[in-house]
Structure 1
Amino acid sequence: MSGPGKWWRRKSTPAKVETYTRWSFHSFAAAEVTVFALPVLGQVPLPYALWLCLLTCVHAAFGAVVASRALDWTRGRRAQPLPLMSAYGATSALFAGLVLWLADQDLGGEDTATALGTVTAGLLFFGVGMITLGVRSRRRVLGLVLGFSAGVGLLALALGAGMAALVAALAALFGTGFFAMTSVFSVWLLNAVYELDEARETRARLAVAEERLRFGRDLHDVIGRNLAVVALKSELAVQLARRGREEAVEQMLEVQRIAVESQREVRDVVRGYREADLGVELLGAQGVLKAAGIDCEVTGDAAGLPGEVQSALGWVVREATTNVLRHGDAARCSVVLEMSEGTVVLMVENDGAETAVAGSGGGSGLAGLRERLRAVDGTLEAGPAGKGTFRVVARVPVAGEPVAQESLAEDAPAGAAPVAAERGAAA
């Protein structure tokens, strides 16, 4: 049994369900022969019994082929087998009518009539059930069941069955309806399993795509500001070098330091270990903006805030600082961090926004910040706050003590040179 066991284990869950469904309907053919064909041999006189047994076996084999083709169509592997289904339906009706006609010929006693009626029911039940595998519309399935049931009743009435015709029609209705419902449910279950499997694969692909977007956003947030500073300091170094000033060497050393730091940060992003620290980002923003000749005042203290809140707000500070450097012509920028009614509020405001490209607040960087803040139930507002002023406000609910209102050290971090003074000297 190791061979069949391995064959079964290698199949996916949808493939297992499909195999089970197929063999279930193939077993219906064996059940039709066992339940309806073989008993005829002992209940109907020869040679009618042999012909009826052969007729039922042919019908069962035909039904197995129809079921296989219909399931292939259900899975999209072949065209809908309409000609085959039509031929099978006509064969089922013809065989059932022939058996009913034989039952009216009084070939034997009551047992013979019962056996012939049972064969008729089997032909109709299995016939309708196999056909409905290849029918998608529920209305057509209902019409098929009602049509076969009405046909049985009319044929029995034409043969002089009287009230028995109504009984035959009702029996055909319930029997064919049951088999049709079984077929429809089996197809629905098979399709549902495949759709769930496809949905799981889609979810996995979306997770990969989301991670790629997150990675790209992190790279943008990490190197965007640093590249802006590198461009600024490189431009200043060029101007100083053209005038033979020794300060050009210091500026290029600072560019080298920022490039090395950017490499480290990119490696941290790749490893997935990087978290923005709000205190460090506030100090860094102040130093970078001052080095660019922008008067920057930072108010508030990040101490005591949860790590995930600090990380989210740290990215806001980084992105806002990058936008101040890259867009507009700011001369002043203020960063305020405060606690208000259980909510941490971070506000970054700058002037010189008349020509700001990011003034609409629709950039990809701001969209990434909104995603980060949503992870901590925060919100982000960005837009003009008056004539020539642009404001970014982030709010994150948090339980804790109010953030102290105090100005951070005015000194920039080590290595951040006061570019404003050097600009004046270079001029």
Structure 2
Amino acid sequence: MLKRARGWRRDWQERGKLERIDLYSRFTISSIPWLFALSWQLAPFKDDIRHEPLPLALGAALLLVSLTQCLLSNRNVRPSYEHYLGVSVFPTRRMLAPLALLLLGVVLLATLAGVDGIGSPGLLLMSLNAPMPFVITRVLLIPVRTFVIESLLLTALTTGALAAAGVRGGPLAGVVPTTLFGCVLVLISVRPSAWSLSVMWQAEEARDIQARLAVAEERLRFGRDMHDVMGRNLAVIALKSELAVELAQRGRPEAVDQMVEVQRIARASQQEVRDVVRGYRKADLTTELAGAKGVLQAAGIECAVTGDDGAGLPAPVQSALGWVVREAATNVLRHGDPRSCTVRLHVSADAVVLNVENDGAPAAAPGESGSGLAGLRERLGALDGALDAGPAEGGLFRLSARIPLARTAESAGTPHAAARDVSRMALLEERR
């Protein structure tokens, strides 16, 4: 027995707060019919039921029926709760036995009153207890309006049976409010308890969904950043490796320099991947413009950077445009056979516009089938910006990004998107 008690205590401690509330609520609902049966059904045996064989036998039979109803009610509490919460559907056949016992109890009560075997106080207590085990589970299965109608019908049934047994006057009139009071008591105690429990479970489910959405968002961000970080670097590594092979086949010593550069880029890529994983990485516009120009020129593509330098732009704008320059340079290296590329940055009082144009583009728009441009649109969308990509006049391909400065000036004091990602990840770790 002590070992079992320790097991119950351990099981209780392992449950969450909401699971404890759920268990407490179900236990309370299961205890109510037993408390009423052992008080309202036993009390009349002392003074109200005549101590004669027939009245005592009828009272004992009525008590046995009430206790059986309590057992059936306890069996139905869990499925009725799950039906109310929308977890499962309550089998209708499980209410047939409780309904039959309720009708049997009303018949026994009417018979006991008909033989003048019970006084008025005891009759009212037993009529109050008669529907309790049945309606405790019934109230969770039907709408409130239907339950009120059924309570009125049950009151009429009980009153009619007692009237047919010969009960008249005050005792019969008192049965009506007494029976209704029992039904209303169940309605205002059991139903709100189940409603509160359903609200708490829905809130818990909403928190779980919110956490899963945050995790999914973080995964998308991570995948997008990995694509942006590794796309250009891998393209440059492949290009320089091919160049090193050609130089080595010709016996040129410059092949060593190219492989040293490949090694440097690979190590830089490793650090960038670590930064992405930590969530701290951000793209700097000035650095990305210089890097794109150097990479394209190293690949034999003539590159010109014109317009404003963008040094005074807010950090979120510089970061977003830096990613645009990086993705544009990656697409120029990967797609078509370009010979020249032009990057123009124009900053006005209302907006900043970045245009990247290159020749030698294929007929299909590069990047549209991948995730690169989609990731850029997500970044620019966070700043109310827009991205356009497609063929331009003269056989060129143009990628244009525009970000309004009015909104970004208002949000310049807000944390960078990477910092928000870090905060989100910290929150997720705390929830885990």
Cα 1:159/1:272, change in 2 over 3 Å: same
Q: Tell me the amino acid that sits aligned with residue 387 of structure 2.
A: E
Select 2:70's aligned residue among 63, 66, 69. Answer: 63
Partner of 1:20: 24
Distance 2:75 2:51 in 1: 34
* Deviations 1:169-207, CA, capped at 9 Å, x for gaps: 565445424414543433333343334333333333333
CA contact (8 A) 1:221 1:319 kept: yes
Partner of 2:323: 315
1:226 deviates by: 0.7
Are 1:272 and 2:279 an aligned pair? yes
Are 1:260 and 2:267 an aligned pair? yes
1:32 deviates by: 0.7
Cα 1:349/1:177, change in 2 over 3 Å: farther
Distance 2:264 2:219 in 1: 28
Distance 1:59 1:26 in 2: 14
Select 1:93's aligned residue among 87, 103, 107. Answer: 103
Among all aligned residue pairs of Structure 1 and Structure 2, give the percentage whose two residues are the same amino acid. 41
CA contact (8 A) 1:285 1:321 kept: yes
Cα 1:90/1:242, change in 2 over 3 Å: same
- Once the two structures are superposed, the pairs formed by residues 194-205 of structure 1 within 5 Å of their partners are 194-205=201-212
Are 1:363 and 2:377 an aligned pair? no
Distance 2:168 2:51 in 1: 29
Local SS of the residue matching 1:149: helix
Cα 1:81/1:302, change in 2 over 3 Å: same
Cα 1:139/1:352, change in 2 over 3 Å: farther
Cα 1:297/1:16, change in 2 over 3 Å: same
Distance 2:250 2:161 in 1: 111
Distance 2:315 2:75 in 1: 60
* Deviations 1:52-98, CA, capped at 9 Å, x for gaps: 26633652453254234431464489984544422112102220232
For these two proteins, the number of residue pairs brought into alignment is 393
Cα 1:178/1:297, change in 2 over 3 Å: farther
CA contact (8 A) 2:113 2:162 kept: no
- Once the two structures are superposed, the pairs formed by residues 291-370 of structure 1 within 5 Å of their partners are 291-298=298-305, 299-358=307-366, 361=368, 363-370=370-377
Q: Tell me the amino acid that sits aligned with residue 345 of structure 1.
A: V
Distance 1:330 1:144 in 2: 82
Are 1:102 and 2:134 an aligned pair? no
* Range with bigger deviation, 157-166 or 261-270: 157-166
Local SS of the residue matching 2:354: strand
CA contact (8 A) 1:294 1:331 kept: yes
Are 1:145 and 2:151 an aligned pair? yes
* Deviations 1:19-38, CA, capped at 9 Å, x for gaps: 11122113203321344123
* Deviations 1:220-261, CA, capped at 9 Å, x for gaps: 111100111112222233333344444333322322221222
1:129 deviates by: 1.8
Q: Tell me the amino acid that sits aligned with residue 271 of structure 2.
A: R
Are 1:214 and 2:221 an aligned pair? yes
Local SS of the residue matching 1:358: coil
Distance 1:309 1:64 in 2: 69
* Deviations 1:346-365, CA, capped at 9 Å, x for gaps: 33333433334536x45312
Structure 1: any 5+ residue segments left out of the alignment? 401-427
Distance 2:60 2:90 in 1: 30
Q: Tell me the amino acid that sits aligned with residue 41 of structure 2.
A: A
1:303 deviates by: 1.9
Structure 2: any 5+ residue segments left out of the alignment? 411-432
Question: How does the TM-score come out when normalised to structure 1?
Answer: 0.78
CA contact (8 A) 1:145 1:173 kept: yes
Cα 1:342/1:78, change in 2 over 3 Å: closer
Local SS of the residue matching 1:222: helix
Distance 1:58 1:363 in 2: 72
* Range with bigger deviation, 332-341 or 262-271: 332-341
Question: How does the TM-score come out when normalised to structure 2?
Answer: 0.78
Q: RMSD of the alignment, in Å? A: 3.4
Q: Tell me the amino acid that sits aligned with residue 313 of structure 1.
A: L
Q: Tell me the amino acid that sits aligned with residue 22 of structure 2.
A: E
Partner of 2:429: none
Partner of 2:426: none
